[in-house]
Structure 1
């Protein structure tokens, strides 16, 4: 019977493994700092578990890459984190941050499982998905116990099943606007929450970044996050629905460097990419025109911000190049 692990890695498998490797090296750095500074005895075991699972992932991927004679990505190392730096984020924020990271991990591994075929790579991404679900459960349960979990808004249960009968359902600019659907409320809540977490993270990074160029970039991102929070919150407030809380107070007053500017820029770039994806999903799920077009108008703005971040990373030699297809024209030159 054919040994399917001898089959070469496809472009999709290379991409998913390479990206996961970089992300797990970042997770090791970030959680090492969290674990060194944690004060809450209930939070500490979750951070330690997350750190160990990231290390286990790296060990598995190391074996796959070595077997394939694939050069190990550099990602981030102990040089990218200052373990002696003072505490930067509250333990409450750390749990919320880990919950958000579990959501991203579940999304990435689910997407990977739709693309990968080699049994060892499939098994690895199943493991990542399972651990992402487990981390989500751990953080949710603790936040519920500690009273820090913020539920999405409640709306009334429908009396009966209805079908859309008029095009007014799509309206949003003129005349009477219909109430938001539960799907639209969900996406508004999600985008407020992710931007609130992103804003707090950027605030901490801006306080501790080394170069002025990175500081200015982060401050610009902080303004954009607040802008998006205000826009989305306004839609909910007009419907007499609550908006998620801010996490600004979860950042300490420390200005000591914790993470390298390279790590900071990569982390923010990854969160921007997730934000663009969230906006796209929200736009597709929001038939009310004013809401859908609002998302559409914000995507170019955040994409331009991401591009400016990429330019900074390239300028300083911080952007590790992913695997690329062969340039046949260049090869034919001999």
Structure 2
């Protein structure tokens, strides 16, 4: 059976204004698929890059979809699906190709591998702000970076959704998170989120401050989504030996490798860890347990009511004035 759904599409790359809301065809779920009523969307920087045509893979135009992260309720399941049943609260996130499967809409159909259980006590707005940020923090800090209790971790772009999730993830295992933000305007809020220290990059020398705060040892781990030509300067903040985990490329310029060896540099991508059932199991267990015991408390920057506010939400995301995740609720 085919029905109609509302979806956010774009027919050319560009700024937030290229986003439109249109009626699309929605089929019943096929074998191994799940149909979801979407109640809230969590926005990610990757979606702005994808919309602009500067992400690591390109949209299929015209009529590309976008979006990784949603919270909703299962409406129906396809043949062979035993993990979920109608009425189950769920999240989305892993193994999504945005052009074809983007979640910005009021109803979506996804492969079961892209759907994650949501504890019934977690409402949709909180859920929509959770999976991708904490999966990235878990995979980058723990599985890739090997962060240990007592380690200092330097978290750049700390006011972002992933940045605030990384602060909480570090605290969850007994590490010491040092947050980096551009100015002191966000200092107090980041301390409230749990940062042990906050460095304003436009007002202080980041490596010098890290050395001072760590007794000249440096940070055992640097967690950075920026890269680019400034990476060697940032690497002066690393311990010896130390580790850098790059989980993005916001600089948009070639990344220069630092030479202050011994130093290990990893490139982290969420899709690599979530590509296997074992990786998804570990991520999902980490996220679910944190939601249940309160160790994971997503920081919500702003909530926009209604899918028709998606352009405004993207404009806020590009302004970089918010702290945490931006969420858009979906009316039915």
Classify the TM-score, shorter chain.
under 0.3
Structure ranking higher in strand proportion: 2
Tell which structure's C-alpha radius of gyration is larger: 1
Structure ranking higher in helix proportion: 1
